[in-house]
Amino acid sequence: MHEFSFAYNIFKVAEATAIKYKAKKITEVLLEIGELTLIVPELLQRSFEMATKGSIAEGAKLTIKMTPGKIKCRECNKDTVVSITKEAQLTGLQLFQCSHCGSNNTEITEGKKANVKNIKIQE
Ligand SMILES: [Zn+2]
């Protein structure tokens, strides 16, 4: 399951930060996810609960902010903001068209990363 290993990595990042600040508990984790990672937020929430069970992050709130993807056209060099449709999520289709010239010769420049933006802790 894609989401579980993802949730586990988030937990590890948050835990390392909490240990650094000698925190007793993690109360909230703020996360930014690129839309093109194909992460399903509901599944991630559930995986996060499982991954943090029995740890200092148990019961922590996971706040997810989705950020749009961006592609760059190799033909006309312009950027297009792309969004994943439900259908594309199911098939894993990742072919994006330039909205300026219609070319499929594009590359993804943003939206494939996830970042822990902030965590809230209890000392
Ligand atoms: Zn183009």
- 55 and 20 in one domain? yes
State in Å: Cα 17 to ligand 1 middle: 42
- 83 and 63 in one domain? no
- 45 and 28 in one domain? yes
- 35 and 81 in one domain? no
Give the sign of the dihedral formed by CA 69, CA 64, CA 120, CA 60.
negative
* Measured CA distances, 72 to 38, 106, 108, 122 (Å): 19, 6, 6, 43
State in Å: Cα 84 to ligand 1 middle: 19
Q: Phi and psi at residue 37, in whole multiples of 5°?
A: -75, -15
Which structural domain, as residue segments, surrounds residue 95?
70-108
Overall number of domains in the chain: 2
- 20 and 6 in one domain? yes
Neighbours of ion ligand 1 (CB under 5 A): 73, 75-76, 98, 100-101, 103
Q: Strand pairing of 69-73 and 79-82?
A: antiparallel
Q: What is the CATH number of the domain that holds 25?
A: 3.30.2320.50
| Residuewise pLDDT in 10s, the chain (123 residues) | 588 999 999 999 999 999 999 999 999 999 999 988 888 899 999 999 999 999 999 999 999 999 989 999 999 999 999 877 666 665 555 568 899 999 999 999 999 888 999 999 998
**Residue 30 DSSP symbol:** E
